Amino acid sequence: MGYTHYWTIKDAASWRKCLPQLVDDSGLIIKHSGVAICGNDYDLPPMLDKDEGISINGKDDGFEPFCLALDEGFDFCKTGRRPYDLVVCAILLRAHQLAPKVLDIHSDGRWNEVGWRNARELINQLWPDEAVTCPWGDAPDE
């Protein structure tokens, strides 16, 4: 199967209200991540569009594209723990901060594994006054 992150958008209207902020914040996450990011296709830039959503992949070392769309429903992204996993996890964490009741997030990873720890550190650097909590409710020692 592969290392995967899963999410469900539960309310499209509420999601669309927070998406412009998430798009802006995703640009900051990419900029400060130190990871080379491209769009859905390796030849395209990342798509960070307030009207269409977010679509990224790891440049030269991607796996599956990470796409956060506008509509309700379930989706997932297999990152294979490649470097762009940091950006995917950080965007999901920022989405959880902005819309915790609108987006359900789960992961094959554990909250205290290095991938999620690095994403938390990045989010804490960018938004130090906002709490970062586990979106799927793992105990801190797991």
Region for 110 from its dihedrals, namely left if φ exceeds 0, alpha if ψ lies in -120 to 50, beta otherwise: beta
Residue 67: domain span? 4-126
In a domain, 24, yes or no: yes
Mean pLDDT by 10 residues, the chain (142 residues): 92 96 98 97 94 95 94 96 98 98 96 97 98 84 47
In a domain, 107, yes or no: yes
Q: Determine whether 6 is exposed, middle or buried from the number of CB atoms within 10 Å of its CB (0-12, 13-18, 19+).
A: middle
H-type alpha helices, the chain: 12-33, 85-98, 114-126
pTM: 0.96
Structure tokens at 28: 């900051």
Residue (of 68, 87, 48) closest to 7 by Cα position: 68
Tell me the C-alpha distance between 133 and 81, whole Å: 21
User: Is residue 66 classed as helix, strand or coil in its secondary structure?
Assistant: strand
Q: Which helix (H) or strand (E) holds 105?
A: strand 103-107
In a domain, 29, yes or no: yes
In a domain, 54, yes or no: yes
In a domain, 142, yes or no: no
In a domain, 137, yes or no: no
| Number of domains the chain is built from | 1
Residue (of 81, 32, 18, 23) closest to 55 by Cα position: 23
Q: Beta partners for 5? A: 77, 107
The pLDDT of residue 140 is: 59
Tell me the C-alpha distance between 128 and 3, whole Å: 28
The pLDDT of residue 41 is: 85
In a domain, 134, yes or no: no
In a domain, 120, yes or no: yes
Structure tokens at 34: 């130190």
The pLDDT of residue 1 is: 59
